[in-house]
A and B are shown apart, each in its own frame.
Chain A
Amino acid sequence: MSTIPNSSPTVTKSHKPRLAVFKFASCDGCQLQLLSCEDELLSLADQLEIVHFIEASSQIEQGPYDIALVEGSITTTSDRGRIQTIRQQSKTLITIGACATAGGIQALKNWADHAEFARSVYANPQYVETLSTSTAIADHVRVDFELRGCPINRLQLIEVLQSLLADRRPRTPAHCVCLDCKRRGTVCIAVASDEACLGPITQAGCGAICPAYNRGCYGCFGPAAQPNCDYLADWYLQDRMSAAKLVPLLRNFNAAAPEFRDCGDRIDPNSDSGESL
């Protein structure tokens, strides 16, 4: 054991960074992860000033903001304008969750007739103003960092905020779920059973939960870095799964993430319309 004196006294900043949380088309689950930080939230509040977080407090302040956390996808013209304003007012903009980073489950409408959807869901669809697509925030404005997941992992959220406070690169993995399965000793269900698992092409971050409970990964953290979706799909299509099942597996929470979208479109005999925007 060794001890060295405290040579770097805590820097006193002129002001605490101002944090704002914004919501677009989403279920609120990712923001909830911030609330469920509980113990860490107090410590966070020491270092950040949370000035706009409607889910937690009705007291909201105007911009500019140092950090904006953005949840949800763009599905209306007014939201298309609102994200521009938020971008202009925010020094660092971080998108959180599958909706904000890939369009979310609602991006399934990119493959369908959205007017038809509105008619079947709402009694008076004439009052519903909506775009025909659901798209990621980064399709509209510059994003400084994307945090994946459906919902995001709260520990990763803390890591990202911490890295911003410390002015360093966030440590979130780019590798796929398999590495985490192996680290936790899970037997590979893709090899030991006929389960079709998206783990080999999905970014880690969830802690490899599903395979540990004998269920194939369904890709909620989106594509891993340089994923080989096509070969995995071809392998599964050989003998364990039909395109009728594999396409919906790829078109899930991250349906419109380009790598999943293109692979699904390639193997789907009935579709060529997943192109967003």
Chain B
Amino acid sequence: MSDYRGDQVESDSLRRLNKDEFDKLIKMLADQGYTVLGPKVRDEAIVYEEINGLADLPQGYRDDQQPGRYRVAQVGHNNYFEFNVGPQSWKQFLFPPKLTVGTAERDPASGWTFATPNQQPPKMAFVGVRACELAAIAVQDRVFMQGPYVDPDYRARRESLMLIAVNCTVAAATCFCTSTGTGPKCQVPFDLAFTELEDSFLVEIGSNRGDALVDQLVTVAGADLDRKRAERLQQRAAEQIRKHMDTSDLRDLLQQNSEHPRWDSVASRCLSCTNCTMVCPTCFCSSVHEVSDLTGDSVQRERVWDSCFNIDFSYMADGVVRNSRRSRFRQWLTHKLASWHDQFDSSGCVGCGRCITWCPVGIDLTEEVAAIRAEPSTNRQLPATQPEKTICVVPERARP
């Protein structure tokens, strides 16, 4: 990723192009061997899937997002990117929900043979990445590629990745990237960042690879007027953001309030259903299972997405560690907003608002944080009773 030019993008690197040229860009990427992924309407939502051209994009669509509620509809504009992030994030392509990470085969004569599947991940281009999503990818880069334990599959996918970003021109009611400092304007690293104007796109070049792509398209130098139009639209998105999360000293605030009564309140509402962690573009937890055939001679080691909201996720020899919805919600929020700083030098939240929209009962982390901030407890108190541990999560009455 040394290819990225960093922050120093000159204003003369802004180019303007017709919308048809964007179609050409998608096809060009496919010709260069990229699997091109982008937004598409499917099952009443805007999801990320393989796209073949401009015609696949959600032209004219808008999304309406509220806590626990999401709707898309065609609203009569002609733009291709006038909506915000949906139920899926790009993490599904960089960190797939299910991956075979090892195999073992037993032969009566020669014994066990262990192998790492020789997976050649596809060379991917993401089209339509938002500012908050660029920030989320940067967070996951730190998780999977920094430090002594690098995830080889993630790295292979990440290194060949082409990032075609889009600046938001509108914001959903659940967006709060202005609080987390991650949007709505795209920051490098990206290869290209587009702003959609009424009749054309303005493109900012973020890397030499991106430059090479733009070279093959019909573009004109972006005029000052174009830049102003783009800035006005970006400004409009920022002004539409209503949700706010005060992040000052947030790490300490949460860590000092581990016994705040608000955790009981949220536990009475939270279903511990895992949805917030699944849709979060930075959540990275997984479980690894060995799956064998009946003879036990052929074993696959599989990694699947998992979640701190899954009761089994903290199951250890002595039982379940986080054995209540309260402790599981607290684990999620305090990891995301507090101990993430200690672990990865940043917050784990990029303000995309997905966990708010896709929580089936509309739990809003910004409100939970605000409630704790409004009445912080002065000192840490131990719980009145120690949580019980279960030995096994098989239903009580059917325990072996």
Q: Which chain A residues have a beta carbon within 8 Å of chain B's beta carbons?
A: 1-7, 40, 43-44, 46-47, 95, 101, 138-139, 143-146, 158, 162, 166, 169, 171, 173-176, 178-179, 182-193, 197, 199-201, 214, 225-228, 231-232, 235
Contact = CB atoms under 8 A, between A and B. Distances in A.
B2 interface: no
A261 B400 CA distance: 24
Contact of B275 (A1, A143, A182, A231): A182
Given A1-B113, A158-B294, A175 B45 contact: no
Nearest to B293: A43
16 contacts: A3-B114, A4-B112, A101-B395, A138-B395, A145-B398, A158-B294, A162-B294, A171-B289, A174-B310, A182-B97, A184-B97, A187-B44, A187-B47, A225-B312, A226-B325, A228-B268
Contacts of B293: 43
Contacts of B108: 6
A143 B398 CA distance: 5
Interface of B: 42-45, 47, 68-71, 87-88, 92, 97-98, 106-116, 268-275, 278-279, 289, 292-296, 304-307, 309-312, 324-325, 357-362, 392-395, 397-398, 400
B310 A201 contact: no
A172 to B, nearest CB: 8
Contacts of B279: 182
A187 to B, nearest CB: 4
A34 to B, nearest CB: 13
Nearest to A2: B114
Contact of A228 (B42, B45, B271, B304): B271
A191 B70 contact: yes
B271 A187 contact: no
Contacts of A6: 106-112
B108 to A, nearest CB: 7
A139 B304 CA distance: 35
A198 to B, nearest CB: 11
A contact face: mostly helix, strand, loop, or mixed? mixed
Contact of B111 (A5, A182, A187, A201): A5
Given A174-B311, A182-B279, A231-B270, 19 more contacts: A6-B107, A43-B295, A144-B398, A145-B400, A162-B292, A166-B296, A175-B310, A175-B311, A178-B278, A179-B305, A179-B306, A182-B275, A184-B97, A187-B87, A191-B68, A191-B87, A201-B271, A228-B268, A228-B269
Which of A2, A95, A158, A179 has most chain B Cβ within 10 Å?
A: A179
Contacts of B112: 3-6
B43 A176 contact: no
